[in-house]
């Protein structure tokens, strides 16, 4: 356990569903602009690229792409894509096609992703049922699982590349989920609250903003809220 670790949270760069507001795009990948945003992160964070001890990524395509483009110097220094921890528990919240990952065998057959260690991807990781379900209790439990995973790692500087909705839950407080609107390709540093680090919740608190290569691309949850309010 490294309770004093720095947790370097990164939201993926612009993906296709962020532009077209289209939930139906399966495992939505980055747009050409999103790829440029991701690549620019490596130039904005030279110190963090040298300091990162572990890279963790949601295994959706847009987060894997952001990982290998945005954190390329750190990935190479730490031993390549096989050393990236693909964490299905960090997948996005909703059960829309755009927020549902691809089966392991499909990713392994794609040259773009075949070099990642995809062994953690169990057959049910795309099911959006049980532990992976999109209901409030399941989502909060999964976010808590991710916090405990990060807390229990021995590394000092841990990068997690994930999604806006799950990041808001990972960075929840005792008062509820964060309402922060993550930008595409945004990086923020958190640490564990010393008062709760050894508790079941192990809350995080923000230390600093680092970089933001993109603008604001709404998540599917935010779009649902806007539609319900009659704004779209």
Question: pLDDT tens across 32-71, in order?
Answer: 999 999 999 988 899 999 999 999 999 999 999 999 999 9
**pTM for the whole thing?**
0.91
Query: At 209, is the pLDDT very low, low, confident or very high (cuts 50, 70, 90)?
Result: confident
Q: Which CATH superfamily is domain 6-228 in?
A: Phosphoglycerate mutase-like (3.40.50.1240)
From 14, 64, 54, 5, select the one nearest 34 (Cα to Cα): 14
Q: So what's the pLDDT on residue 215?
A: 57
From 2, 21, 4, select the one nearest 219 (Cα to Cα): 21
88's tokens? 């299905």
Looking at residues 119-145, what average pLDDT do you find?
Answer: 98
Q: List, in order, residues 6 or more apart from 133 with CB less than 8 Å away.
A: 95, 139
Percent over 70 (pLDDT), the chain? 90
What does the buried/exposed string (b/e) look like for 149-162 if buried means 16 or more CB atoms within 10 Å of the residue's CB?
A: bbbebebebbbbbb
Is residue 94 within 8 A of residue 221, CB to CB? The reply is yes
Could you give the residue ranges of the DSSP H alpha helices within 86-183? Answer: 104-108, 136-152, 164-170
Extents of the domains making up the chain: 6-228
Question: pLDDT tens across 55-111, in order?
Answer: 999 999 999 999 999 999 999 999 999 999 999 999 999 999 999 999 999 999 999
β-pairing, 186-192 vs 204-212, is antiparallel
């Amino acid at each position: 356990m490294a309770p004093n670790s720095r947790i370097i949270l990164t939201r993926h760069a612009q993906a296709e569903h962020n532009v077209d507001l289209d939930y139906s795009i399966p495992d939505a990948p980055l747009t050409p602009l999103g790829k440029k945003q991701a690549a620019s992160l490596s130039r904005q964070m030279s110190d963090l690229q040298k300091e990162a001890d572990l890279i963790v990524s949601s295994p959706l395509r847009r987060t894997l792409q952001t990982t290998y483009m945005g954190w390329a110097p750190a990935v190479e220094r730490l031993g390549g894509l096989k050393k990236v921890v693909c964490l299905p528990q960090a997948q996005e919240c909703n059960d829309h096609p755009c927020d549902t990952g691809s089966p392991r065998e499909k990713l392994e057959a794609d040259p773009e992703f075949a070099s990642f260690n995809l062994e953690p991807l169990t057959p049910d990781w795309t099911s959006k049922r049980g532990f992976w379900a999109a209901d409030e209790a399941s989502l909060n439990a999964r976010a808590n699982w991710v916090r405990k995973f990060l807390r229990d790692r021995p590394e000092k500087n841990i990068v997690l590349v994930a999604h806006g909705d799950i990041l808001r839950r990972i960075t929840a407080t005792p008062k509820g989920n964060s309402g922060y609107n993550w930008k595409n390709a945004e990086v923020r540093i958190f640490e564990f609250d010393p008062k709760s680090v050894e508790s079941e919740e192990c809350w995080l608190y923000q230390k600093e903003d680092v970089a933001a290569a993109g603008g604001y691309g709404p998540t599917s949850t935010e779009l649902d809220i806007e539609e319900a309010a009659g704004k779209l």
